[in-house]
């Protein structure tokens, strides 16, 4: 299994266009500190890749990785489809940028698909440009991600019923936000990707304990960070993100796992966006990494 880390930032990226917080101000003059919106690319076969979420940075993310470049035909692309973990704008706005494709495959849970089609009218928007095929993300059991039955298998694990603001009055459903479990039967390896976590259910714990690589939500360092920095009147958990540090935080949970463990989806207020911040030593002592844009993970 081969994973490309296309981005590691929470909403707005780092720097965010209208933000002068220390994280954004510190990143502006230093290109190596910039982070694009959180996303992965997953290889299912030679020359075939699926994007995990379609961010506003999608074009630049593809151009930054030669493996994702088109060719040899003039409109021949290795991008086979998009896997969605939720319906948030930060993870779906890039879908419209794929309208030049001859066909487009999207995989999502039922509430996410409904929000994109009925709230954002994405089907109506894309219909004049390309043919869109929707696939249901399996929440029980797993199914082959690509055409080859012996290839990569995928399943979703519900981790939150948090709806995006534009669908705030849509029905409750625990599958609004999912973690993705990717299993490679040929290598016997598993990756778990969860860029947003409002809870740590038993199914997620089991999947994390069995995984070879776990990449999870590192949006906020502690629960009070959004209120302390003035970006929100809510706590981290109130915004749908388990914090890294503190009671109920993810650091201690990750520390006990045998897998390779990484944080992604960092908010611009998180001290981990500063390479010199002492918080890096805390996670490093626990054997946890902070993912960076451009990282290549082979399992």
Residue 163 and residue 169: Cα distance in Å, rounded? 8
* Chain segment 233-247, per-residue pLDDT in tens: 999 999 999 999 999
Secondary structure of 111-131 as H, E, C letters = HHHHHHHHHCCHHHHHCCCCE
Residue 149 has what pLDDT? Answer: 63
Percent of the residues in the chain that have a pLDDT greater than 70, as a whole number: 99
- CA-closest candidate to residue 137, choices 108, 159, 160: 108
Average pLDDT over residues 21-39: 96
Domains observed in the chain: 2-292 (3.60.15.10)
Residue 148 has what pLDDT? Answer: 65
Residue 108 has what pLDDT? Answer: 98
Q: What is the edge-to-edge ordering of all strands in the sheet holding 189-194?
A: 143-144, 153-160, 177-184, 189-194, 213-217, 260-264, 288-290
Residue 225 and residue 267: Cα distance in Å, rounded? 10
Residue 37 and residue 18: Cα distance in Å, rounded? 15
Residue 132 has what pLDDT? Answer: 97
- Does the pLDDT value for residue 150 go beyond 80? no
* Chain segment 77-101, per-residue pLDDT in tens: 999 999 999 999 999 999 999 999 9
Residue 171 and residue 190: Cα distance in Å, rounded? 32
* Chain segment 164-208, per-residue pLDDT in tens: 999 999 999 999 999 999 999 999 999 999 999 999 999 999 999
Residue 14: phi and psi, rounded to 5, are: -135, 115
Percent of the residues in the chain that have a pLDDT greater than 90, as a whole number: 97
* Chain segment 137-149, per-residue pLDDT in tens: 999 999 999 876 6
Residue 270 and residue 167: Cα distance in Å, rounded? 27
Buried b (16+ CB within 10 A) or exposed e, 18-40: ebebebbebbeeeeebbbbbbbb
């Amino acid at each position: 299994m081969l994973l490309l880390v296309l981005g590691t930032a929470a909403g707005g990226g780092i720097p965010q266009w209208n933000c002068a917080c220390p994280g954004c101000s510190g990143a502006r003059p230093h290109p190596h500190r910039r982070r694009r919106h959180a996303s992965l690319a997953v290889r299912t076969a030679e020359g075939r890749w699926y994007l995990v979420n379609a961010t506003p940075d999608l074009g630049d993310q593809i151009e930054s990785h030669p493996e994702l470049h088109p060719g040899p035909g003039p409109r021949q692309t290795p991008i086979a489809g998009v896997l969605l973990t939720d319906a948030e704008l930060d993870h779906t706005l890039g879908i419209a940028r794929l309208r030049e494709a001859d066909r487009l495959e999207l995989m999502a849970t039922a509430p996410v698909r409904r929000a994109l089609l009925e709230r954002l009218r994405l089907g109506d928007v894309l219909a004049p440009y390309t043919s869109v095929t929707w696939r249901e993300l399996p929440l029980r059991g797993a199914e082959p991600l690509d055409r080859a039955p012996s290839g990569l298998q995928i399943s979703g694990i519900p981790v939150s019923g948090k709806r995006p603001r534009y669908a705030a009055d849509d029905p409750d459903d625990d599958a609004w936000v999912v973690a993705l479990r990717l299993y490679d039967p040929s290598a016997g390896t598993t990756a778990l990707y969860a860029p947003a976590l409002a809870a740590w259910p038993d199914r997620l714990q089991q999947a994390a304990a069995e995984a070879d690589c776990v990449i999870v939500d590192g949006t906020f360092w502690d629960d009070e960070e959004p209120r302390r920095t003035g970006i929100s009147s809510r706590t981290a958990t109130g915004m749908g993100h388990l914090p890294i540090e503190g009671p109920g935080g993810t650091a201690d949970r990750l520390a006990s796992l045998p897998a390779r463990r990484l944080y992604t989806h960092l908010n611009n207020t998180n001290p981990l966006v500063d390479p010199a911040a002492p918080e890096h030593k805390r996670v490093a002592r626990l054997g946890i990494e902070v993912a960076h844009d451009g990282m290549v993970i082979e399992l």
